[in-house]
Structure 1
Amino acid sequence: MCKCNPGTSFYSDQFVSSRMRKMELTRMMKKILMMWMKKKVVMRMKKQMRMGKSRMATQRNDLQRRRRMKWIQRDRRQKMALQLESSPPVSSVPSISPPPFQPVLALPISLWLHTISDEERLEMLSNGEDSSSLLTRRPNPSMTFPS
């Protein structure tokens, strides 16, 4: 037999609200996670000590690893810069095809460019018009293909 206070019910003493239960669960999860992380750190430290490494040695190794990574990244950046310098500048090479992120325009423009003769294309380029004006100019109605 349960001895309860006269003003309270059995359930209010036994069960907590769902909100309290949820808070308690999250608190427990955090606690378990922290304990697991601490255990992981402790295990790593024990392993290092067992292998004869001190904390200072491992910190020094970490620092060396970071420096090595920094140098590797710097070398990669320099190689990329050299590759960019060795390739011809983008502005001097006339690009006739539209950018790759506009695949819908690629077919009509390439069809239209095939209708222009080589002399007309050379004339347009020699008049000082860059290739971007070729992309923006609309073709003559007589030259269009039915789509």
Structure 2
Amino acid sequence: MDRTPPDPPLKLDDFLCFAVYSAGHAFNRLYRPLLDRLGLTYPQYLAMVALWEADDRTVGELGERLGLESNTLTPLLKRLQAMGLVDRVRDGRDERVVRLRLTDKGRALEGPACAVPAELLAASGLDLSAVKRIRGELAALNAALSRAEAGS
């Protein structure tokens, strides 16, 4: 007779991936009203932040920075262009390459957008040192998962 104890049942609260997933949804719920004031969705906001960091990026550079594929990024960028926030222009040296440039309206949105991180920090109840620690741990996790994915 086998007396091996049964495997413990699976519990969602034990899954790190579920904790990250749930936190992501909580972030989205907090971001929504803040970004509604700016007229942006969360992915659009991330794209704009990346362009405020470094304007005149290629679509490929932005996709790499955000971890988005072209089929996801292109419709997002078309919407930002329709909103008058970015211009998409062909590169003068290589017409296959599309460059993204902030418009004056896109640059002007950075000022009001600067309030968003502070409002989110206040809502989280965390201090900056906790945010930096968690961000560092998540970056290390992301790197480890990327290495595991590459090795498979």
| TM-score of the two chains, using structure 1 as the length reference | 0.30
| TM-score of the two chains, using structure 2 as the length reference | 0.29
Structure of greater relative contact order (alpha carbons < 8 Å, 6+ residues apart): 2
More strand by share: 2
